[in-house]
Protein backbone atom coordinates (compact mmCIF):
# COMPACT_ATOMS: atom_id res chain seq x y z
CA UNK A 1 0.00 0.00 0.00
CA UNK A 2 1.25 3.47 -0.80
CA UNK A 3 2.16 5.66 2.15
CA UNK A 4 1.32 9.34 2.11
CA UNK A 5 4.32 11.31 3.32
CA UNK A 6 4.32 14.49 5.36
CA UNK A 7 4.97 17.64 3.38
CA UNK A 8 6.88 19.09 6.34
CA UNK A 9 9.53 17.87 8.78
CA UNK A 10 8.29 16.83 12.20
CA UNK A 11 10.76 18.68 14.39
CA UNK A 12 11.71 18.27 18.05
CA UNK A 13 9.90 21.42 19.20
CA UNK A 14 6.64 20.25 17.64
CA UNK A 15 6.93 16.87 19.34
CA UNK A 16 7.57 18.56 22.69
CA UNK A 17 4.49 20.75 22.20
CA UNK A 18 2.34 17.76 21.23
CA UNK A 19 3.37 15.79 24.30
CA UNK A 20 3.00 18.84 26.59
CA UNK A 21 -0.63 19.17 25.53
CA UNK A 22 -1.19 15.81 27.20
CA UNK A 23 1.08 16.25 30.22
CA UNK A 24 3.64 19.03 30.74
CA UNK A 25 5.83 16.71 32.83
CA UNK A 26 6.50 14.38 29.88
CA UNK A 27 9.72 14.86 27.93
CA UNK A 28 10.28 13.17 24.56
CA UNK A 29 13.71 11.70 23.85
CA UNK A 30 13.22 9.95 20.49
CA UNK A 31 10.70 9.74 17.63
CA UNK A 32 10.48 6.78 15.26
CA UNK A 33 8.15 6.33 12.31
CA UNK A 34 6.15 3.09 12.54
CA UNK A 35 4.88 0.88 9.75
CA UNK A 36 1.55 2.27 8.65
CA UNK A 37 -0.81 2.59 5.74
CA UNK A 38 -1.96 5.91 4.31
CA UNK A 39 -1.31 7.95 7.47
CA UNK A 40 1.83 8.81 9.40
CA UNK A 41 2.25 7.00 12.72
CA UNK A 42 5.15 7.64 15.09
CA UNK A 43 6.37 6.14 18.35
CA UNK A 44 7.46 8.78 20.87
CA UNK A 45 9.89 7.51 23.51
CA UNK A 46 9.88 9.47 26.73
CA UNK A 47 12.49 10.29 29.37
CA UNK A 48 12.22 8.17 32.52
CA UNK A 49 10.30 5.01 33.29
CA UNK A 50 7.32 5.96 31.14
CA UNK A 51 5.60 3.93 28.43
CA UNK A 52 6.01 5.33 24.91
CA UNK A 53 3.21 7.20 23.18
CA UNK A 54 1.99 6.89 19.61
CA UNK A 55 1.36 9.95 17.45
CA UNK A 56 -1.09 9.39 14.60
CA UNK A 57 -1.37 12.20 12.06
CA UNK A 58 -4.56 12.41 9.99
CA UNK A 59 -5.02 13.74 6.45
CA UNK A 60 -7.63 16.41 5.80
CA UNK A 61 -10.16 13.86 4.52
CA UNK A 62 -12.24 12.21 5.71
CA UNK A 63 -13.00 14.93 8.21
CA UNK A 64 -14.71 12.57 10.67
CA UNK A 65 -11.83 10.09 11.05
CA UNK A 66 -10.16 11.35 14.29
CA UNK A 67 -13.49 11.50 16.14
CA UNK A 68 -14.49 8.06 14.85
CA UNK A 69 -11.29 6.36 15.96
CA UNK A 70 -11.47 8.01 19.38
CA UNK A 71 -15.08 6.84 19.76
CA UNK A 72 -14.33 3.25 18.72
CA UNK A 73 -11.25 3.17 20.93
CA UNK A 74 -13.47 4.09 23.87
CA UNK A 75 -15.88 1.26 23.06
CA UNK A 76 -13.10 -1.31 22.82
CA UNK A 77 -11.31 -0.03 25.93
CA UNK A 78 -14.51 -0.30 27.95
CA UNK A 79 -15.16 -3.76 26.51
CA UNK A 80 -11.61 -4.78 27.43
CA UNK A 81 -11.47 -8.20 25.76
CA UNK A 82 -8.57 -7.56 23.37
CA UNK A 83 -5.43 -5.39 23.53
CA UNK A 84 -6.17 -2.19 21.62
CA UNK A 85 -4.60 1.28 21.82
CA UNK A 86 -6.41 3.87 23.90
CA UNK A 87 -6.91 7.33 22.39
CA UNK A 88 -5.55 9.82 24.96
CA UNK A 89 -6.03 13.09 23.09
CA UNK A 90 -7.26 14.37 19.74
CA UNK A 91 -6.18 17.80 18.44
CA UNK A 92 -7.97 19.26 15.42
CA UNK A 93 -6.96 22.89 16.02
CA UNK A 94 -3.91 22.77 13.67
CA UNK A 95 -2.09 25.08 16.08
CA UNK A 96 0.83 22.74 16.76
CA UNK A 97 0.82 20.91 13.42
CA UNK A 98 -0.82 21.90 10.14
CA UNK A 99 -2.69 18.58 10.27
CA UNK A 100 -4.93 16.95 12.86
CA UNK A 101 -3.47 14.31 15.14
CA UNK A 102 -4.13 11.96 18.04
CA UNK A 103 -1.97 10.66 20.86
CA UNK A 104 -2.60 7.05 21.84
CA UNK A 105 -1.11 4.43 24.08
CA UNK A 106 1.60 2.23 22.60
CA UNK A 107 1.34 -1.54 22.09
CA UNK A 108 4.40 -3.78 21.73
CA UNK A 109 5.14 -5.78 18.60
CA UNK A 110 5.36 -5.35 14.86
CA UNK A 111 2.68 -5.86 12.23
CA UNK A 112 1.94 -9.44 11.26
CA UNK A 113 2.54 -8.28 7.67
CA UNK A 114 6.19 -7.66 8.49
CA UNK A 115 6.51 -11.18 9.92
CA UNK A 116 4.75 -13.30 7.27
CA UNK A 117 7.94 -15.31 6.69
CA UNK A 118 8.08 -16.33 10.37
CA UNK A 119 7.68 -20.10 11.00
CA UNK A 120 4.90 -19.35 13.48
CA UNK A 121 2.71 -17.44 11.02
CA UNK A 122 0.08 -20.17 10.63
CA UNK A 123 -0.49 -20.24 14.38
CA UNK A 124 -0.75 -16.44 14.32
CA UNK A 125 -3.40 -16.62 11.60
CA UNK A 126 -5.36 -19.11 13.68
CA UNK A 127 -5.23 -16.72 16.63
CA UNK A 128 -6.39 -13.88 14.37
CA UNK A 129 -9.50 -15.96 13.69
CA UNK A 130 -10.06 -16.35 17.43
CA UNK A 131 -9.68 -12.61 17.95
CA UNK A 132 -12.20 -11.91 15.23
CA UNK A 133 -14.70 -14.29 16.83
CA UNK A 134 -14.23 -12.47 20.16
CA UNK A 135 -14.82 -9.09 18.50
CA UNK A 136 -18.10 -10.48 17.23
CA UNK A 137 -19.38 -10.85 20.76
CA UNK A 138 -19.56 -7.06 21.18
CA UNK A 139 -23.19 -6.14 20.43
CA UNK A 140 -24.24 -2.96 18.66
CA UNK A 141 -27.59 -1.13 18.60
CA UNK A 142 -28.29 -1.40 14.85
CA UNK A 143 -26.69 -2.20 11.50
CA UNK A 144 -24.75 0.63 9.92
CA UNK A 145 -21.49 2.47 9.29
CA UNK A 146 -19.83 4.17 12.26
CA UNK A 147 -18.84 7.84 12.18
CA UNK A 148 -17.69 10.20 14.92
CA UNK A 149 -21.01 10.17 16.80
CA UNK A 150 -21.92 6.49 16.43
CA UNK A 151 -23.80 4.33 13.95
CA UNK A 152 -25.18 6.42 11.08
CA UNK A 153 -28.83 5.78 10.21
CA UNK A 154 -28.89 2.39 11.97
CA UNK A 155 -30.98 -0.24 10.20
CA UNK A 156 -33.14 -2.63 12.16
CA UNK A 157 -32.29 -5.69 10.03
CA UNK A 158 -29.24 -6.94 8.21
CA UNK A 159 -31.30 -7.60 5.08
CA UNK A 160 -32.31 -3.94 4.95
CA UNK A 161 -28.76 -2.78 5.55
CA UNK A 162 -27.21 -5.04 2.91
CA UNK A 163 -29.85 -4.18 0.30
CA UNK A 164 -28.98 -0.49 0.73
CA UNK A 165 -25.24 -1.26 0.77
CA UNK A 166 -25.40 -3.21 -2.49
CA UNK A 167 -27.50 -0.51 -4.14
CA UNK A 168 -24.87 2.07 -3.19
CA UNK A 169 -21.86 0.00 -4.26
CA UNK A 170 -23.36 -0.86 -7.66
CA UNK A 171 -24.13 2.83 -8.19
CA UNK A 172 -20.49 3.69 -7.43
CA UNK A 173 -19.31 0.95 -9.79
CA UNK A 174 -21.27 2.47 -12.69
CA UNK A 175 -20.33 6.06 -11.79
CA UNK A 176 -16.65 5.11 -11.82
CA UNK A 177 -16.89 3.69 -15.33
CA UNK A 178 -17.41 0.05 -14.50
CA UNK A 179 -18.92 -2.00 -17.32
CA UNK A 180 -22.71 -1.60 -17.15
CA UNK A 181 -23.55 -5.03 -18.63
CA UNK A 182 -21.16 -6.74 -16.24
CA UNK A 183 -22.62 -4.74 -13.36
CA UNK A 184 -26.10 -6.06 -14.26
CA UNK A 185 -24.78 -9.64 -14.18
CA UNK A 186 -23.21 -9.06 -10.78
CA UNK A 187 -26.36 -7.39 -9.50
CA UNK A 188 -28.51 -10.33 -10.56
CA UNK A 189 -26.14 -12.73 -8.81
CA UNK A 190 -26.21 -10.61 -5.65
CA UNK A 191 -30.00 -10.35 -5.61
CA UNK A 192 -30.34 -14.13 -5.95
CA UNK A 193 -28.38 -14.58 -2.74
CA UNK A 194 -29.51 -11.45 -0.88
CA UNK A 195 -32.11 -13.43 1.15
CA UNK A 196 -29.12 -15.07 2.88
CA UNK A 197 -28.55 -11.72 4.63
CA UNK A 198 -31.82 -12.29 6.52
CA UNK A 199 -30.07 -14.91 8.66
CA UNK A 200 -28.13 -12.82 11.16
CA UNK A 201 -27.60 -13.17 14.92
CA UNK A 202 -27.80 -9.38 15.23
CA UNK A 203 -25.55 -6.37 14.76
CA UNK A 204 -22.10 -6.79 16.28
CA UNK A 205 -18.88 -4.83 16.16
CA UNK A 206 -17.12 -5.26 12.82
CA UNK A 207 -13.54 -4.06 12.46
CA UNK A 208 -13.92 -4.31 8.65
CA UNK A 209 -10.16 -4.30 8.08
CA UNK A 210 -8.70 -7.13 10.13
CA UNK A 211 -5.65 -8.00 8.04
CA UNK A 212 -1.90 -8.47 8.58
CA UNK A 213 -1.19 -4.74 8.62
CA UNK A 214 -3.63 -4.10 11.47
CA UNK A 215 -2.58 -6.87 13.86
CA UNK A 216 0.59 -6.59 15.95
CA UNK A 217 2.65 -9.56 17.10
CA UNK A 218 5.93 -10.22 18.86
CA UNK A 219 8.43 -13.05 18.81
CA UNK A 220 8.35 -15.53 21.67
CA UNK A 221 10.59 -18.61 21.74
CA UNK A 222 9.01 -20.92 19.19
CA UNK A 223 5.90 -18.77 18.70
CA UNK A 224 4.51 -15.59 17.21
CA UNK A 225 2.22 -14.01 19.80
CA UNK A 226 -0.44 -11.43 18.90
CA UNK A 227 -0.13 -8.23 20.93
CA UNK A 228 -2.62 -5.72 19.55
CA UNK A 229 -5.41 -4.76 17.18
CA UNK A 230 -5.10 -1.32 15.59
CA UNK A 231 -6.77 1.03 13.07
CA UNK A 232 -10.50 1.52 13.58
CA UNK A 233 -11.21 3.71 10.57
CA UNK A 234 -13.46 1.16 8.82
CA UNK A 235 -15.50 0.04 11.85
CA UNK A 236 -19.14 -0.87 11.33
CA UNK A 237 -22.04 -2.48 13.13
CA UNK A 238 -22.70 -5.52 11.00
CA UNK A 239 -23.45 -9.18 10.69
CA UNK A 240 -20.41 -11.16 11.93
CA UNK A 241 -20.05 -12.99 8.59
CA UNK A 242 -19.80 -9.61 6.82
CA UNK A 243 -16.63 -8.97 8.85
CA UNK A 244 -15.31 -12.53 8.54
CA UNK A 245 -15.66 -12.32 4.74
CA UNK A 246 -13.67 -9.06 4.69
CA UNK A 247 -10.91 -10.56 6.84
CA UNK A 248 -10.64 -13.68 4.66
CA UNK A 249 -10.66 -11.57 1.50
CA UNK A 250 -7.90 -9.21 2.68
CA UNK A 251 -5.72 -11.78 4.44
CA UNK A 252 -5.83 -14.34 1.62
CA UNK A 253 -4.90 -11.61 -0.87
CA UNK A 254 -1.66 -11.08 1.06
CA UNK A 255 -1.06 -14.73 1.95
CA UNK A 256 -3.26 -17.51 0.54
CA UNK A 257 -2.15 -19.75 3.41
CA UNK A 258 -4.09 -17.61 5.88
CA UNK A 259 -7.67 -18.54 4.93
CA UNK A 260 -7.88 -22.01 6.46
CA UNK A 261 -6.21 -21.23 9.82
CA UNK A 262 -8.34 -18.08 10.22
CA UNK A 263 -11.48 -20.20 9.68
CA UNK A 264 -10.17 -22.81 12.13
CA UNK A 265 -9.54 -20.17 14.75
CA UNK A 266 -12.91 -18.54 14.16
CA UNK A 267 -14.72 -21.80 14.82
CA UNK A 268 -18.35 -22.70 14.27
CA UNK A 269 -20.39 -20.45 11.97
CA UNK A 270 -24.06 -20.23 12.83
CA UNK A 271 -25.68 -19.80 9.45
CA UNK A 272 -27.76 -22.32 7.45
CA UNK A 273 -25.83 -21.48 4.25
CA UNK A 274 -22.52 -20.09 5.47
CA UNK A 275 -20.66 -20.54 2.17
CA UNK A 276 -23.36 -18.68 0.26
CA UNK A 277 -23.39 -15.84 2.80
CA UNK A 278 -19.60 -15.52 2.66
CA UNK A 279 -19.83 -15.42 -1.16
CA UNK A 280 -22.41 -12.62 -0.97
CA UNK A 281 -20.37 -10.52 1.47
CA UNK A 282 -17.13 -11.15 -0.46
CA UNK A 283 -18.82 -9.85 -3.62
CA UNK A 284 -19.73 -6.67 -1.76
CA UNK A 285 -16.20 -6.23 -0.37
CA UNK A 286 -14.59 -6.75 -3.78
CA UNK A 287 -16.89 -4.20 -5.38
CA UNK A 288 -16.30 -1.74 -2.56
CA UNK A 289 -12.52 -2.21 -2.73
CA UNK A 290 -12.55 -1.76 -6.52
CA UNK A 291 -14.48 1.50 -6.14
CA UNK A 292 -12.09 2.81 -3.50
CA UNK A 293 -8.88 1.87 -5.32
CA UNK A 294 -10.24 3.30 -8.57
CA UNK A 295 -11.21 6.56 -6.85
CA UNK A 296 -7.75 7.08 -5.32
CA UNK A 297 -5.99 6.19 -8.55
CA UNK A 298 -4.32 2.87 -7.75
CA UNK A 299 -3.17 1.40 -11.08
CA UNK A 300 -1.02 -1.71 -10.46
CA UNK A 301 -2.23 -5.02 -11.84
CA UNK A 302 -3.11 -6.34 -8.38
CA UNK A 303 -5.37 -3.33 -7.75
CA UNK A 304 -8.61 -2.66 -9.68
CA UNK A 305 -7.62 -4.92 -12.58
CA UNK A 306 -7.02 -7.85 -10.27
CA UNK A 307 -10.30 -7.24 -8.47
CA UNK A 308 -12.16 -7.19 -11.79
CA UNK A 309 -10.67 -10.60 -12.64
CA UNK A 310 -11.85 -11.90 -9.28
CA UNK A 311 -15.33 -10.45 -9.82
CA UNK A 312 -15.59 -12.04 -13.27
CA UNK A 313 -14.70 -15.37 -11.68
CA UNK A 314 -17.68 -15.05 -9.32
CA UNK A 315 -20.37 -15.04 -12.06
- Per-residue pLDDT, 302: 63
The highest-level CATH class for domain 12-105 is alpha beta
If DSSP codes are grouped into helix, strand and coil, which group holds residue 143? strand
Q: Which fold has domain 110-313?
A: Aminoglycoside 3'-phosphotransferase; Chain: A, domain 2 (3.90.1200)
- Per-residue pLDDT, 2: 44
- Rounded to an integer, the average pLDDT of 242-250 is 98
Residue 38 confidence (pLDDT) above 80: no
Question: Measured between alpha carbons, how far is 253 from 5 in angstroms, rounded to an integer?
Answer: 25
pLDDT class of 222 with cuts at 50, 70, 90: confident
Domain extent listing, the chain: 12-105, 110-313
- Per-residue pLDDT, 39: 78
Residue 105: count of CB within 10 angstroms of its CB: 17
- Per-residue pLDDT, 8: 66
Whether 283 and 186 have beta carbons less than 8 Å apart is answered as: yes
Angle at 36 between CA 35 and CA 41, to 5 degrees: 90
Q: What percent of the chain has pLDDT over 90?
A: 83
Residue 53 confidence (pLDDT) above 90: yes
- Per-residue pLDDT, 121: 97
pLDDT class of 72 with cuts at 50, 70, 90: very high
Residue 304 confidence (pLDDT) above 90: no
Which residue would you say has higher pLDDT here, 298 or 235? 235
Q: Please tell me what DSSP assigns to residue 197.
A: G
Taking only the tens place, the pLDDT of each residue in 97-122 is: 999 999 999 999 999 999 999 999 99
Which residue would you say has higher pLDDT here, 303 or 180? 180
| Domains 12-105 and 110-313 are alike in CATH topology | no
* Lowest pLDDT segment from 37-51, 79-93, 262-276: 37-51
- Per-residue pLDDT, 295: 84
| Burial of 193 per CB tally in 10 Å (0-12, 13-18, 19+) | middle
Amino acid sequence: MRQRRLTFDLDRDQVRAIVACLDTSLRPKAVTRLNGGSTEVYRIDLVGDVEPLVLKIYPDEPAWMPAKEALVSGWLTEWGELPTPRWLAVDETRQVLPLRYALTTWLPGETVRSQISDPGIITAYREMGRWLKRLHSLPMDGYGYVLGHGVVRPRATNAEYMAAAFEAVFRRFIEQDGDAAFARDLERAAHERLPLASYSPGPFFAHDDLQPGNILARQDPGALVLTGLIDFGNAQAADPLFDLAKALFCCAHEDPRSRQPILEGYGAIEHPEADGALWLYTLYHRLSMWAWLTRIGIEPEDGPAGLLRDLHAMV
